[in-house]
Amino acid sequence: MRFLKNPLILALDVDDKSDAMKILDHVGDLVGGIKLGPRMLYRYGAELVTEIAEIAPVFVDNKYFDIPSTMVAAVKASFEAGATLVTVHALAGSTALKELHKLEVELNQIRPFKILAVTILTSWDQSSMPASFHSWSVENHVRSLTQEVYSSGLRGLVCSGHELEYLNYPGLFKVTPGIRLSTEQNTQQSEDQKRVMTPKQAIKAGASALVIGRPILQAHKPRETILDILESCT
């Protein structure tokens, strides 16, 4: 896995940098990558990406969705800050996706880098998608968006574990959020995540990497929890 140290990406979903660094001091050596989103990046900026990239590969999860030139510029800026993985919205369309693929090829001449296209958010299910989406199922939306992503040349995707089994495109790197550690957690702790799955289920279904936050951040023994997850993925 040339982009990550192992399949586990820690979602560093906290608000304070000192809290984040305490977590990474404790478990940063175990995780395959570290996901940073807007709640941290809008506070601390590109310097945070650069700093944390010294610990493990950084996944900048800002889900860029704009006109093609703006998306290209945002992805390039994330790369320059030190990101290894960056998310964009597949809904941006084929023109933007093709331009992003050109950029990805260019940046990979410098170091390994992957653009991940987000299909349908794991916080959506059939009832909570926008009304204009309701004529299609979640599955059909994901299938269609994945086809558009793949046709653009990009080979990175973000989707829930529930879509993995029918996204069997050669060379597709599939990153799966909405991971919970047990069936009990799936029902009790999924909160804003609707389409969830355990680590073992997701890897078996075809996930290349897993994004896991709360089950690790809220664990009494985070290191042991990470080691258990990695063992379940083998």
State pLDDT tens for residues 199-218: 999 999 999 999 999 999 99
pTM for the full predicted model: 0.90
pLDDT at position 152, please?
A: 98
Which residues have a Cβ under 8 Å from the Cβ of 150 and sit 6 or more positions away? 169, 172
| Token code pair at residue 164 | 């993995």
pLDDT at position 185, please?
A: 46
Question: 87-142, pLDDT tens digit by residue?
Answer: 999 999 999 999 999 999 999 999 999 999 998 766 756 665 666 566 567 787 88
pLDDT at position 147, please?
A: 96
Query: 189 pLDDT band (50/70/90 cuts)?
Result: very low
Query: 162 pLDDT band (50/70/90 cuts)?
Result: confident
Per DSSP, which regions of 159-232 are E strands? Answer: 173-176, 209-212
Query: 71 pLDDT band (50/70/90 cuts)?
Result: very high
- Whether the CB-CB separation of 8 and 119 falls below 8 Å is answered with no
Query: 187 pLDDT band (50/70/90 cuts)?
Result: very low
**CATH pick for 8-232 out of 3.40.190.10, 3.40.50.2300, 2.40.160.20, 3.20.20.70:** 3.20.20.70
Residue 1 has pLDDT above 90, yes or no: no
Average pLDDT over residues 141-169: 92
Round the average pLDDT of the chain to a whole number and report it. Answer: 90
Inter-CA distances, 40 with 25, 197, 211, Å: 17, 26, 16
pLDDT at position 227, please?
A: 97
- Whether the CB-CB separation of 122 and 87 falls below 8 Å is answered with no
Instruction: Write out the catalytic residue numbers.
Output: 63
Query: 181 pLDDT band (50/70/90 cuts)?
Result: confident
pLDDT at position 137, please?
A: 76
Strand pairing class (114-118; 156-158): parallel
Q: What percent of the chain has pLDDT over 70?
A: 88
pLDDT at position 183, please?
A: 47
* Backbone Cα Rg of the chain: 17
